[in-house]
Structures are given as structure tokens and as C-alpha cells.
Amino acid sequence: MKRRSTATKISYQGEPGAFSEQAARSFFGKRCVTVARESFREIFDDVSAGKSVYAMVPIENSLHGSVPQNYDLLWKHRLFIVGELKLRISMNLLALPGTKLKNLAAVYSHPQALGQCERFLTSLKGVEINPFYDTAGAAKMIAMEGRSDAAAVASSQAAADYGLAILRAGIENDHRNFTRFLVVAKKESHPRRRPKTSVIFATKNVPGALFKCLSAFALRNINLLKIESRPLVGAPWEYLFYVDIEGDARSEECVNALAHLRELTSSYRFLGSYETGNIVHP
């Protein structure tokens, strides 16, 4: 996918200074117009309604795993994945200037961020760890309320945006911490290089169903990059499978593999072909 230089509206979950906003600016450039939303559902709705051209969607973190809600939203909305980016995530403990670590009573951040920093946070004795809807949102709350006894786990950009000091930098459990983001749009893309393709499907309730579905790729020597299962809402004990494969859906081997897969599934959704994302260090 060719990155655009003109101003483009991108919705993301969180407040200004969130990692999703950093991902949007890294992918589209500084001239893009970012639209902050409180929930993931809202960013998908923005694109579906044409309020934004794209949504920047975190889908998995290298330390804390997947973002399950966004797999469900990919299934629910008839949108396409058109790009990918892997953002290096550096977590920081932010507080009002002058706040001392020993004076903290509470820390706030998004549950994913708290999980990525669990080792450091558990070392803070007597400090209450509180989930919040967003990393940058937690920083904004502490700044607006003047909380001298609290801190947020967020980006260095959030510290700059809300006038907070960095009490501790790089507090993630492992510095090889990356979040994979997907760029979602109403129209599908056609990757020029390093293509990958994503689909979601449900299997028939017969022995060996998943094995047969995956054999559609194995028989054609197509590399399976990822598989993730999610409960199928409204059908207890049945599951959806999200799969990433190497290749462009327009290639002969992928065309044949996906046609074979559709014959074996009870439900199927093509999510798009797109360029494999680079690792970005903001």
C-alpha cells in the first residue's frame, strides 16, 4: 500500500499521545488528521460510516498477547485490512512534576499497558494498580485533576502533551516490546511487495475440520503466519479462526487455496491482502 502524503483522517482509540496515535503518524506521516475515540467500537464505526478513511487498530502485543475485542470487530464489520505496522513500545511512569516515587498511592493505565509492565508495578509496595480506558487518557486525568499521589503508565509523548514528568523510563517487562497495528478501511488494497493475507472463518462441526481447512494452505506450500481462535457469538462452544498467510490473494496459489477453504467452512470472511509492516521506533 502506498503511503499518502496528503492529509488523511484516521480514527484511533485513546487520547492524544496514545501509542495508537503514534502508530497513525508513523504510518501516514505528520500531515494526517488523527481522530481520538474512547472505544475500539467507535473507530470501526467511524470508518464504516465514512467519518474517517482509516482506523488504526492494535491487534497484538509481543509481551501481553492479542487484543481479543478487535478480532471480534474485524468479524462484525465489513471492512478490509489495508496496512500493517509494528511499533516499538516504551512504557514510562508519568506523574506531576515534583512527585516522588515513594509518595505514590495509585497507578493508572490501559490493562494491556499494565500487563506489559507487571514486573515493575508489582515492585511498588502499597500502590494500587488501576485499569483505565487509555494510557494517554490516564496521563490526561492525572494532569487535569492535579493528582500528586498518582502516576500513569504511558508514552513519553503523553508526558510532553500533558506536562508530566517521567519518574521511570522503560518500565516494560522486556525491551523487545512491540505492538502490531492494522490499518482498516472500506476498500481493499493491492500490496506491491511482501504481501500477506488475512481471513476469518468458522469450521463445520465434523472430525478433522480445522485440519482440513489448514490443509488448503499446506497442500499449496503457503506459509501460515498466525492463527487465533475466538468464540462465535450466538453459537456456544463454536469458534472463529483468524488466519494470516504469506502471499497475495490475487496470486494463483492463494486464489486456489482460498476457494478450497471456502468449500470447507461454515462461515468465511476475506479481510484483505496488504504489505507486511515494518518495525518502527518512534
User: 83-133: per-residue pLDDT in tens?
Assistant: 999 999 999 999 999 999 999 999 999 999 999 999 999 999 999 999 999
Q: In the predicted model, what is the mean pLDDT of residues 147-174?
A: 96
Task: Please tell me the predicted confidence (pLDDT) of residue 6.
Answer: 53
Q: What CA–CA distance (Å, rounded) separates 43 from 263? A: 33
Question: For position 4, what pLDDT does the model report?
Answer: 46
Residues 172-190 pLDDT 10s? 999 999 999 999 999 999 9
Q: At 94, is the secondary structure helix, strand, or coil?
A: strand
- Which one-letter amino acid corresponds to residue 204? K
Task: Supply the Cα-derived Rg of the chain in whole angstroms.
Answer: 20
Buried b (16+ CB within 10 A) or exposed e, 70-102: bbbbbbebebbbbbbbbbbbbbbbbbbeebeee
Q: Would you please indicate which residues are annotated as catalytic (active-site) residues? A: 179, 181
CA 51 from centroid of its chain's CA atoms: 20
What's residue 203's pLDDT?
A: 94
Q: Which domains does the chain have, with CATH numbers?
A: 92-169 (3.40.190.10)
How large is the average pLDDT for residues 47-64?
96
Q: Exposed, middle or buried: residue 2 (CB in 10 Å: 0-12, 13-18, 19+)?
A: exposed
The structure's pTM equals 0.91
- Give dist(CA 118, CA 132) in Å, integer: 15
Strands (E), 19-157: 33-37, 54-61, 65-66, 80-88, 92-95, 106-109, 128-131, 150-154
Choose between 264 and 1: higher pLDDT. 264
